[in-house]
Structure 1
Amino acid sequence: MNKLFGKNILALFFLGISSGLPLLLVFGTLSVWLREAGVERATIGFLSWAGLSYAFKFVWAPAVDHLSIPLLSRLFGRRRSWILLSQVLVILALCWMSLWDPQSNQINFIWLAAGAVLLGFASATQDIVIDAYRIDIADHEQQAMLAGIAIAGYRIGMLFAGAGALELSALFNPSEHYLASAWQLAYRCMALFMLLGIVTTLLIREPDTTNTRPVIHNNLYLFIHFICVIASFCLSFIALGWLFEAYSANHTLVNFALACLRLMIAVGIAVIVGNRLCHFGLLDRHEFNAVYVSPFVDFFKRYGQLALWLLLIICFYRTSDIVMGVMAKVFYVDMGYSKTEISRISFVFGTIVSLVGGILGGLLAYRFGIIKILLLGALTASLSNLLFIYLANLAAPSLTALSLAIVADNLAGGLAGGVAVAFLSSLVNKQFSATQYAAFSAITLLFPKLLAGYSGAMIDVLGYSTFFALTAVMGIPVIVLILLIWRPYKRITNMS
């Protein structure tokens, strides 16, 4: 226990900061920058797709779990080398984004968006490896405590990227007029903060990974296989975009349905390509099944018919708060609140309340059971969105009303997020913990982030009040699903 409260606690805390820092630099903080630069709300909403890497990280999680990086893995070990590589990529992406002014011309905006995509990919990769590192360094009974410490660090990292970036931007530009250099300097400061993660990675120990994972005899072939599968997905997704462009419409629901169909077809093509490459001998069939197939087969074997209902809950659980959250900072700007007010109330105060909500969710789940608090989290996350309808209809900006709405929203979101981590962890088989947890956490974000890409367009059509009411309604299917699986889930967990 002394060792747990010593090096491992400190390691996970600082790695949590490193993991949480890039998130808002892809979403909330970047949204404020773009809105201040005069970018349209619909475009900001579409750019939130840069964070879809968090939803698709399960695709390359097996490769990260099994591949060694030449030279780096020999120097630092497999886990630390991947953490170090992802952190370096995060720093490079932040520095790249700081070179461009999205207001000057469309080319600059495109280059900035490309940096946001790289930042999302590097950050999602870092999350994969840090989760795997946490699982590897401790026994099963210590995981909840380490996860709590990592989440605390994650929230502090978000605080740096949220309040910190806004405060720095305001410091570099005291006026309320847009100044690109202020935002660029703020992003460079965030890149400097990432050095804390690199120092931590260099100081921590490499975990003992002698476990049941299969040995990959040819890392180069696995890497080539992985690149081909990803390339087939990306190329087919782009090509389908050109094909579906002729069927696009002004109706948001039609475009959303086309986007879902486009995504499913692209995934199907990638699966077919991966299977055919095995047929041609690029990767041994046994290794392919062990790396990519076994973790998912195991889940369906353990939960049977209940597995589909569990996946639906995983998929839809965070929809209500994520779809609303993407445009929350834009809403504050449009309502007339200053960057300093947004920073201090939303990012600082909101993050602290969210951290309290996450801890509360874990404690309540431990005391009363996961399924009960999972339902409570779904209810509060939906109902808290209704407070923003009142905020949207105020005659003038009110810091008191803003504070109350943010407290309720962040407390509910933190509680839902905390119990969601406990719920996902309860579904994982430790033999496949890294891949399964990456898959579950990615699926949690996939549908909400895809839908959130249309949030700006929804607001343009519906207005803020109707939009917030709609996001509250989005929580109803999840509540129904939780009630449906209540008894069978409790029966299976009691048996295990």
Structure 2
Amino acid sequence: WQMVYGLIALMMVLAISGTFIAPEPEMSSKPAEARESYQSVIPQRVLRGFTLAVAIGWAVAIAMIAWHVFASLTQVPPPSGSAFVREQGPVIVGLTVLLPATLAAVLLWRHGRTPGATVPDRPDESQTTRVLNSLFRAIFDPLMEMIGRLGWGALLVLLLALTYRFADAVWGAFAYPFYLGSEYGAIGHTMADVAVASKFFGVLMTMAGAAIGVVVISLIGRMPVLVIGAVLAAATNLLFADLARGGMAIDAFLEWTRLADPIRMFAGWAAAISPEGQGAEAGARMARLMLAIGGENLAGGFASVAVVAYLTSVVNPRFAAVQYALLGSLTMLIGTLGRPWLGEMIEMHGYYTVFIVTFWLGGVAVVLSLLEWLRMGRQKTPAAQDAAGA
């Protein structure tokens, strides 16, 4: 462990060093007062009230999550995770996502979609007023620009960002209990097996999936790749469902493709790293694990490229930092909130049932991707047609 953490520290030092070496981005030549903002077209009292409402909503959501974590660590028995997701999860999503988006839409409806110039802070303004003005420019300007530009399509974009990575993100915290455990249908591999299959073979497959995604995007466009990525992310849950039932479908696939012998030979060598992995079935079990993890990571790399390409196409370069950060964080929000519920489902029904459920839930992202492809295809701009694969 000392060597492992030493290598991690070394990688962090290299990453931090890169931030000092990297060149600074070019700054806009316009003064801050010359940039567009909705601040100047909205009455100050309304601006303060709406900004304060969003700030309070975020504070309440953070407090709800913090209290649940604190209660889980201190109370015996701990509070129900599924009850938290069922009862408070929608409230958290509403306070952090729906409330700001709804208020931004209301401001656009009441005060128009045309921004004015940024209002400079006056010397006689209080510190609270300056903070609220800064929060408005940081939160509402990007949201209002995106909603004003996309119209009702902004709702579809938000829903797609919320659900696209759900199928593979929601169970990530339970991957190692599934690989290493022996209960609820877990497959009982050793840490050495998982290290080779996940951190060596799996990483290579993630890189391969990302490379394939880039090539396919250049050939058919962003939106077809977005749909394919959603389908693959959902379908790979079936690999783990089969693994939880013994891997018969994976074995049949290996035999049909005539990959069984070479993969099992390599897997048998990999299994030999672990003394606990010896035996007649070591190579076959390792081959199933490698194929399942490899398929999931290949799809994950492909889907990651697809969603990044899509999100960068819907943000405004001027507000790219805030808009992309908002949409990017939403891709993991539902999956993170769903993990307590998923953990209880594993204890009640086992891993196999959970993988089947996450497969069907992944269909939501597939449907939303198709609807977004249709919406972008109806736009007449050349950029939209190119994104849709026209």
1:258 to 60, 64, 87: 87
Is the contact made by 1:385 and 1:468 (CA closer than 8 Å) also made in structure 2?
Answer: yes
Find the counterpart in structure 2 of residue 283 from structure 1: 129
More moved, 312-321 vs 193-202: 193-202
Amino acid at match of 2:145: D
Find the counterpart in structure 1 of residue 164 from structure 2: 317
**Could you say what secondary structure the match of 1:454 adopts?**
helix
Number of matched pairs: 294
- Following TM superposition, the consecutive aligned residue runs of length 4 or more in structure 1 with deviations greater than 4 angstroms are 228-233, 236-246, 248-253, 264-268
Whether 1:445 aligns to 2:332 is yes
Find the counterpart in structure 2 of residue 477 from structure 1: 364
Whole-angstrom CA distance in 1 between matches of 2:22 and 2:200: 29
How far residue 393 of structure 1 moved from its aligned partner, in angstroms, is 2.1
Whole-angstrom CA distance in 1 between matches of 2:374 and 2:228: 16
Whole-angstrom CA distance in 2 between matches of 1:351 and 1:300: 37
Whole-angstrom CA distance in 2 between matches of 1:264 and 1:485: 21
Find the counterpart in structure 2 of residue 197 from structure 1: 15
Whole-angstrom CA distance in 1 between matches of 2:222 and 2:24: 32
Amino acid at match of 1:459: I
How far residue 345 of structure 1 moved from its aligned partner, in angstroms, is 1.3
TM-score, with structure 2 as normaliser: 0.66
User: What is the 5 A alignment of 1:64-79?
Assistant: none
User: What is the 5 A alignment of 1:172-211?
Assistant: 182=1, 186-210=4-28
Per-residue CA distance 1:15-45 (angstroms, 9 max, x = gap): xxxxxxxxxxxxxxxxxxxxxxxxxxxxxxx
Per-residue CA distance 1:49-103 (angstroms, 9 max, x = gap): xxxxxxxxxxxxxxxxxxxxxxxxxxxxxxxxxxxxxxxxxxxxxxxxxxxxxxx
Whole-angstrom CA distance in 2 between matches of 1:349 and 1:205: 34
Whole-angstrom CA distance in 2 between matches of 1:256 and 1:389: 24
Whole-angstrom CA distance in 2 between matches of 1:351 and 1:309: 32
Find the counterpart in structure 2 of residue 63 from structure 1: none
Per-residue CA distance 1:434-491 (angstroms, 9 max, x = gap): 1111111101111111112433322111101111111111111111222223222123
Whether 1:420 aligns to 2:320 is no
Whole-angstrom CA distance in 2 between matches of 1:252 and 1:232: 19
Whole-angstrom CA distance in 1 between matches of 2:30 and 2:379: 25
**Greater Cα radius of gyration, structure 1 or 2:** 2
2:245 to 354, 369, 393: 393
Change (3 A) 1:209 1:312: same
Change (3 A) 1:265 1:407: closer
Whole-angstrom CA distance in 2 between matches of 1:328 and 1:413: 14
Where structure 1 has 5 or more consecutive residues not aligned to the other structure, the ranges are: 1-181, 216-224, 272-278
How far residue 495 of structure 1 moved from its aligned partner, in angstroms, is 4.6
Amino acid at match of 1:354: T
How far residue 254 of structure 1 moved from its aligned partner, in angstroms, is 3.6
RMSD: 3.4
**Could you say what secondary structure the match of 2:25 adopts?**
coil
Whole-angstrom CA distance in 2 between matches of 1:350 and 1:339: 14
Is the contact made by 1:237 and 1:262 (CA closer than 8 Å) also made in structure 2?
Answer: no
Amino acid at match of 1:288: L
Is the contact made by 1:362 and 1:422 (CA closer than 8 Å) also made in structure 2?
Answer: no
Change (3 A) 1:377 1:233: closer
TM-score, with structure 1 as normaliser: 0.53
Where structure 2 has 5 or more consecutive residues not aligned to the other structure, the ranges are: 34-51, 101-124, 182-186, 248-280, 384-390
How far residue 366 of structure 1 moved from its aligned partner, in angstroms, is 2.3
Find the counterpart in structure 2 of residue 136 from structure 1: none
- Percentage of identical aligned residues: 28
Is the contact made by 1:371 and 1:486 (CA closer than 8 Å) also made in structure 2?
Answer: yes
Find the counterpart in structure 1 of residue 173 from structure 2: 326
